[in-house]
Amino acid sequence: MLRFVSIGLVAATVISAAAVQTRGPVGPRWSKADREMLRSLSLASLGPVPADPSNRYADDTSAARLGQRLFFDTRLSGNGKVSCATCHMPSRDFQDGTALAHGVGTTNRRTMPIAGTAHSPWMFWDGRTDSQWAQALGPLESAVEHGGDRTQYAHVIAAHYRDDYETVFGRLPMLDGTPAHAGPVADSSRAVAWRRMSASGQDDISRVYANIGKAIAAFERRIGFTPSRFDRYVEAELAGRSHTTADALSPDEEAGLRLFIGKANCSTCHNGALFTDNHFHNTGVPASTSVAAVDSGRAVGARQVVASEFSCTSRYSDAKSEECDELRFAVTEGDELLRAYKTPSLRGVAERAPYMHAGQMATLADVIAHYDRAAAAPFGHSELKPLHLSDTERRQIEAFLRTLSSPLAAPVGYLTPPNVPKQ
């Protein structure tokens, strides 16, 4: 009987090993340069979240908890129905799966995901803000997103978040006599009310407004990525280990990876552990048929960030000027900015169709076909050249991109709505 059990254990061990070890040490070998490229793309190469000197509360956990509550609070909107999470849905990698975002109205752009953005010097498709906190403030005042205004939000903080706010940021200003609705927004009555406020009154409110952004940023900067199957594959490759079912790539996925870093030149711009160079490129993406306005991309975004009321060098920033080098040395003019858009991260890309800055392309296959074809840009100059990929090669690149999906990484409880106090 004992012998029977022993044989059974050995057999089980052999079967288990066979199931786990899908491929031996003999497999496609990567050149030294390829291995360096794989290493650079791996999540293990991503350093810690960089400091944000423009937000002294960025690493304050109390600010992050407050930011999480604000992120999910629909009272921060003109109609009481829109929160950051309306478009940045935690269950969908903090995006909404639609071509154009729908808040109070409809935007001209695709919602961008949030994970990993603390590593980026520029926010939005056109980089019109230079920090997570400044980014968070844009939609709050947009007439088609949250549709609210600064004094309204200050009143919400005073009514519902006073203690938490004051624990982090110090005393709220007195809001007696502050209009219920006022701000530098498109709505004329609220804009007029804002202009009638004293400069010091405006400054007090704008500081509360900036602090709302800083709290939301403290929450957002803790959201990152867990290793994907690609990352586990690279780890095993670099360690010279045999691949298991958890870290193997299929022959098509592997071929797609080889194309990604080789013939298809994807890694020229989609480089580094977040698969983005954090820069702006005109890749000939066609204009959206759903958007009437002309979209010049970075050409406008560069001017906006320089003029931004909430930039790194602004009075509401906590940074010294010399800590704002991305802004100080930004390219702000030139033909290269025309219709250039930020290179998006490809982590989790298979989970967030449709694609491009206005959701012009429905599927990954469409995107790959676009880069293969390299059509001329609607205006400006596309950086692309036709790739002459075969059907099989396009399919293999898509197969590889699907290996970049993984759950988000965040502190416990950060990916679900907190208990928001009721009115």
Partner 1 sequence: MSAIQNTRKTSSRSVVSRAISAAVIVSLFTGCMMFARAPKDLDYSRTRQSEAGLYRGTIRPQGDSIPQGRLQRWTLHLETVGGAPVDSATVSVDGGMPQHGHGLPTKPRVTRALGNGDHLVEGMKFNMGGWWVVKFRVNATPGSDSLVFNVKL
**Site membership for partner 1, residue 385 (CB under 8 A):** yes
Q: Contact at 8 Å (CB) between 78 and 104?
A: yes
Under the binding rule (CB under 8 A), the answer on residue 382 touching partner 1 is yes
**Contact pick of 216, 384, 397, 399 for partner 1 (by CB under 8 A):** 384
> Using CA atoms, how far apart are residues 206 and 314, in angstroms rounded to an integer?
12
| 296 counts as binding partner 1 under rule CB under 8 A | no
Give the nearest distance from C-beta 269 to partner 1 in angstroms.
6
Comparing CA positions, the residue from 209, 217, 77 lying closest to residue 154 is 209
Amino acid at 422: K
CA dihedral 92, 118, 305, 301 (to 10 degrees): -40
Per CB under 8 A, contacts with partner 1 among 10-49 are: 40
- Check residue 173 for interaction with partner 1 (CB under 8 A): no
Task: Find the shortest distance in angstroms from Cβ 319 to partner 1.
Answer: 14
CA distance 243 to 256: 18
Query: Is residue 272 close enough to count as binding partner 1 by CB under 8 A?
Result: yes
Is residue 56 part of the contact set for partner 1 (CB under 8 A)?
no
Q: Select from 325, 407, 411, 413 the one that contacts partner 1 (CB under 8 A).
A: 325
| Minimal distance, residue 325 CB to partner 1, in Å | 5
321 near partner 1, judged by CB under 8 A: no
* Amino acid, single-letter form, for residue 53: P
Q: Using CA atoms, how far apart are residues 156 and 146, in angstroms rounded to an integer?
A: 14
**Chosen residue from 35, 39, 207, 279 binding partner 1 by CB under 8 A:** 279
How far is 423 from 418, CA to CA, in rounded Å? 15
Q: Is the dihedral of CA 307, 195, 159, 107 positive or negative?
A: negative
- Interacting stretch for partner 1, rule CB under 8 A, among 128-136, 174-182, 209-217, 380-388? 380-388
Which residue reads 């999906």 in tokens?
405
Work out whether 326 is an interface residue with partner 1 (CB under 8 A): yes
CB of 261 to partner 1, least distance (A): 10
Query: Do the bridges between strand 224-225 and strand 21-23 make them parallel or antiparallel, or are there none, so unpaired?
Result: unpaired
Tokens linked to 173: 């200003």
User: C-beta of 222: minimal distance to partner 1 in Å?
Assistant: 22
Minimum CB separation of residue 28 from partner 1 in Å reads 22
Distances (CA, A) of 356 to 19, 140, 146, 386, 404: 40, 23, 23, 18, 18
Does residue 59 belong to the site contacting partner 1 (CB under 8 A)?
Answer: no
Tell me the Ramachandran region of residue 228: left when phi exceeds 0, alpha when psi lies from -120 to 50, beta otherwise.
beta
Using CB under 8 A, pick the residue from 28, 334, 413, 421 that binds partner 1: 334
Task: Quote the DSSP letter at residue 99.
Answer: S
Q: Does 290 bind partner 1 (CB under 8 A)?
A: no
Side chain identity at 171, as an amino acid letter?
Answer: R
The residue among 278 and 311 lying less far from partner 1, judged by its C-beta, is 278
Residue-wise DSSP of 142-171:
-TTTT---HHHHHHHHHHHSHHHHHHHH-P
Stretch touching partner 1 by CB under 8 A, among 128-136, 181-189, 311-319, 324-332? 324-332
Q: Helix, strand or coil for residue 314?
A: coil
- Does position 329 interact with partner 1 (CB under 8 A)? The reply is yes
- Phi and psi dihedrals of 361, rounded to 5? -120, 130
Beta carbons of 123 and 130 less than 8 angstroms apart:
yes
Between 207 and 303, CB nearer to partner 1: 303
For the bound state, the minimum distance from the C-beta of residue 374 to partner 1, rounded and expressed in Å, comes to 7
Binds partner 1 by CB under 8 A, chosen from 331, 379, 407, 411: 331
Q: How far is the CB of 365 from partner 1 (least distance, A)?
A: 22
- Interface pick for partner 1 out of 158, 287, 374, 420 (rule CB under 8 A): 374
Residues in the chain: 423
277 binds partner 1 (CB under 8 A): yes
The verdict on 108 binding partner 1 (CB under 8 A) reads no
Nearer to partner 1, 261 or 404 (CB): 261
Do 313 and 324 meet the contact criterion of CB atoms below 8 Å apart? yes
Per CB under 8 A, which region of 175-183, 193-201, 246-254, 266-274 contacts partner 1?
A: 266-274
98 makes contact with partner 1 (CB under 8 A): no
3-state secondary structure of 129: strand
Nearest to partner 1 of 318, 336 (CB atom): 336
Nearest approach, Cβ of residue 301 and partner 1 (Å) = 14
Site residues (vs partner 1, CB under 8 A):
40, 265, 268-269, 271-272, 277-279, 282, 325-326, 328-332, 334, 336, 374, 381-385
